[in-house]
Structure 1
Amino acid sequence: MLKKCLRLGACLLPALLVVGCATQQAPYDYTAFKQAKPRSIVVLPPLNNSPDLKATYSMLSQVTHPLAEAGYYVLPVAVVDETFKQNGLTSGADIHAVAPAKIQEIFGADAALYITVSKYGTSYQVIDSVTAVTADARLVDLKTGTVLWTGAASASSNEGGNNGGNLLGALITAAVKQIINTTTDASHPLAGVASARLLSGGLNNGLLYGPRSVNYSKN
């Protein structure tokens, strides 16, 4: 019996090691990022894969602050958006399809930030009403088309967990939250939280600090 247990343990050990390694996030390779040394960023209107039409501009309106705080010059997002509209490009999909070299020619920025919103809005979950925003981003060198960095982040109204209580009270609370959330766009402040988590400088595997940051030498 002991020998059987030892053999079983030997067989399971590699699998356990694989599972354990899978939970650890490997350090991001910043080689291309450090070589490119981008100073200015043009943020393209986000691609919206959520059912809520407000997602694109809710996210777009809140990305400048964390990028500027990270030490980058960010082209005014309203000007960038209007420039695309004047050239007949109104959807995120069409804008994201423009060649990096063309974007560089128009705006003169070093890099472009491509954002995709995959989740934005409130969902009713029997005894709770949860509002969540999830987005991912990639920073692209406009001169070469090289991807310098990719990341993802989320924010949820339910991050504090369920405080308990009776079932009837939970159902009433969920219904009230659903009404409030659908009439006031509760996702908008969460888009700000997700933007900060996604684009703030110096985070683990996040954006490197830009040249305008006092922390630039720490990259």
Structure 2
Amino acid sequence: MLKYMSKSLFAVGLVSLLAACAVQPPKQVDYTAFKNSKPHSILVLPPVSEATDVNAGNGVLAQVTYPLAEAGYYVLPVSLVSETFKQNGLTTANDIHAVAPAKLRQIFGADAALYIDINKYGVSYQVFDSVATVSVTARLVDLRNNTELWTGTGYASSAENDNNNNNGLLVQLIAAAIKQVVNKVSDAAYPVAGVADQRLLEAGRFNGILYGPRSPKYGTD
């Protein structure tokens, strides 16, 4: 009897352990503050980058306007914002992110600001291939009251569409060498950054940014 109970307790414990280790679905974002804020215009700040690639900041920043505009928001022109910061002596992303929201509101008149952090940006070189990877996170902050409205992540890799092939060793080595040369003389991560930005800021997806007032879908999410 004791042996039977021990086995039963072990089985229950094992099931509980497996249940605890099971992958939990992402938690639904609380959009209460976002819906109450109803931002119409967004100021995109230069991204703070952890990546060593010098192209990271410009590569990500240059492609964030489109998905935000498609989502239904007025986005302040990136070039105008950049020049305004320079005229005020702010040339680094870290310094710009440290500016008080009320001050940003006073200068630009935007309802909200998008703070972007670049976690990965660049190409990793391997024997038979080179892979471009971009990973970004962002948070949307109401400049009128400093309330965080939304946070999100975006990731993309050039390896997503790569297919395994059965080419000979020499052919693979030549192809890899050519690809690495091309990547070194160009910003191979740039188009990947566009995909990551789209995934980060596309409205209508699960836990994504809400549709803005310029979208016909405004108020439906």
State the TM-score bracket (shorter-chain normalisation): over 0.9
Looking at structure 2, the residues matched to 152 and 103 of structure 1 have their Cα atoms a distance apart, in angstroms, of 24
Deviations 1:160-185 (A, max 9, x none): 34413244443333332211111121
Check the 8 A contact 1:124/1:174 in 2, yes or no.
no
Q: Give the structure 1 partner of residue 98 of structure 2.
A: 97
- Does structure 1 residue 199 correspond to structure 2 residue 198? no
SS state of the match for residue 41, structure 1? strand
Looking at structure 1, the residues matched to 200 and 38 of structure 2 have their Cα atoms a distance apart, in angstroms, of 19
Cα shift at 1:59: 1.1
Looking at structure 2, the residues matched to 111 and 60 of structure 1 have their Cα atoms a distance apart, in angstroms, of 16
Q: Give the structure 2 partner of residue 174 of structure 1.
A: 176
- Does structure 1 residue 17 correspond to structure 2 residue 15? no
How many pairs does the alignment contain?
Answer: 218
Distance 1:2-1:173 versus aligned 2 partners, 3 A rule: farther
Spell out the pairing of 1:1-219 with structure 2 (5 A cutoff).
Answer: 3-20=5-22, 22-165=23-166, 166-219=168-221
Cα shift at 1:9: 2.0
Aligned AA (1:158): A
Cα shift at 1:53: 1.0
Moved more, 181-190 or 206-215: 181-190
Moved more, 182-191 or 120-129: 120-129
Give the alignment's TM-score, normalised by structure 1: 0.94
Looking at structure 1, the residues matched to 108 and 99 of structure 2 have their Cα atoms a distance apart, in angstroms, of 13
Moved more, 123-132 or 33-42: 123-132
Aligned AA (1:50): A
Distance 1:24-1:170 versus aligned 2 partners, 3 A rule: farther
SS state of the match for residue 159, structure 2? coil
Looking at structure 1, the residues matched to 5 and 171 of structure 2 have their Cα atoms a distance apart, in angstroms, of 56
State the identity as a percent: 55
SS state of the match for residue 133, structure 2? strand
SS state of the match for residue 217, structure 1? coil
Aligned AA (1:8): F
Distance 1:143-1:128 versus aligned 2 partners, 3 A rule: same
Whichever of the two has the greater Rg, that structure is: 2
Give the alignment's TM-score, normalised by structure 2: 0.93
Structure 2 residues not aligned, in runs of 5+:
none
> Which ranges of 4 or more aligned residues in structure 1 deviate by more than 6 Å?
none
